[in-house]
């Protein structure tokens, strides 16, 4: 069995401002750089075969993990949210947000969840076809889409993994989700309060 370690980028400057990003390209915040560096022990003992999204926040996370000069693949970009990029949820209609999160609405000029799923599936298939263990530094939507593809689940049913978290998939004969959204400090929101 091979493993795929999916790393979500650290906090970006727009994450810190609660702005929707999509394929916009803000850099990591200072906290995001610290979060990414704290993930480095998760990579101990794993092969160095890696790929990253070509967006700055993912590339900076890969660099902080010691994965410099790895291939950049735009198929691992976050979902394109069109005209919503740079806006906060408070600026949008709550019904539109609910419809988007449920897969029933794509913002103007945006990619649909089905289009994201197809794009990430192509990127994931390329890694699986190459065989062996891989690390992909990417985005929350990509992690949800990859997990859905491997498990047969619904990407929209997965919660968004925390910034600077690790998700582990076992691929091969019987693919399995081994861990989802692990953070080094264990402080990730669980949904239980």
Least confident of 41-55, 96-110, 146-160: 41-55
Between the CA of residue 56 and those of 113, 139, 164, 169, what are the distances in Å?
A: 22, 11, 14, 24
- Mean pLDDT for 43-47 is 77
pLDDT score of 190: 46
187 pLDDT band (50/70/90 cuts)? low
Q: Which of 9, 111, 139, 149 is catalytic?
A: 9
193 pLDDT band (50/70/90 cuts)? very low
Cα separation, 27 vs 19, in Å, equals 13
Asked if 9 and 170 touch (Cβ cutoff 8 Å), the reply is no
- Mean pLDDT for 108-129 is 96
Question: E strands of 87-133, at which residues?
Answer: none
Cα separation, 35 vs 39, in Å, equals 7
Catalytic residue check, 149: no
Bridge partners (DSSP) of residue 135 are 5, 50
Domains and CATH numbers, the chain: 2-182 (3.40.50.1240)
pLDDT score of 46: 74
Q: pLDDT higher for 83 or 44?
A: 83
Residue 185 backbone dihedrals phi, psi, to 5 degrees: -95, -5
- Mean pLDDT for 112-124 is 97
Q: Which of 18, 34, 78, 170 is catalytic?
A: 78
Which pairs with CB-CB distance under 8 Å and at least 24 residues apart come from 171-176?
Answer: 171/1, 171/2, 171/3, 171/4, 171/128, 172/1, 172/2, 173/1, 175/150, 175/151, 176/150, 176/151
Catalytic residue check, 78: yes
């Amino acid at each position: 069995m091979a493993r795929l370690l999916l790393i979500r980028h650290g906090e970006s400057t727009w994450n810190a401002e609660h702005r929707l990003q999509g394929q916009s390209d803000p850099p990591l915040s200072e906290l995001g750089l610290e979060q990414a560096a704290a993930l480095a022990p998760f990579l101990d003992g794993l092969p160095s075969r890696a790929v990253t999204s070509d967006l700055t926040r993912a590339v900076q996370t890969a660099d902080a993990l010691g994965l410099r000069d790895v291939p950049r693949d735009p198929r691992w970009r976050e979902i394109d949210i069109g005209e919503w990029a740079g806006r906060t949820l408070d600026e949008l209609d709550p019904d539109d947000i609910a419809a988007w999160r449920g897969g029933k609405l794509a913002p103007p000029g945006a990619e649909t969840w089905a289009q994201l799923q197809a794009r990430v599936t192509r990127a994931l298939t390329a890694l699986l076809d190459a065989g062996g263990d891989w690390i992909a530094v990417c985005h929350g939507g990509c992690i949800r889409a990859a997990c859905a593809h491997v498990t047969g689940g619904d990407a929209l049913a997965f919660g968004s993994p925390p910034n600077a978290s690790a998700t582990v998939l076992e691929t091969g004969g019987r693919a399995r989700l081994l861990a989802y959204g692990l953070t080094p400090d264990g402080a990730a929101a669980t949904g239980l309060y």
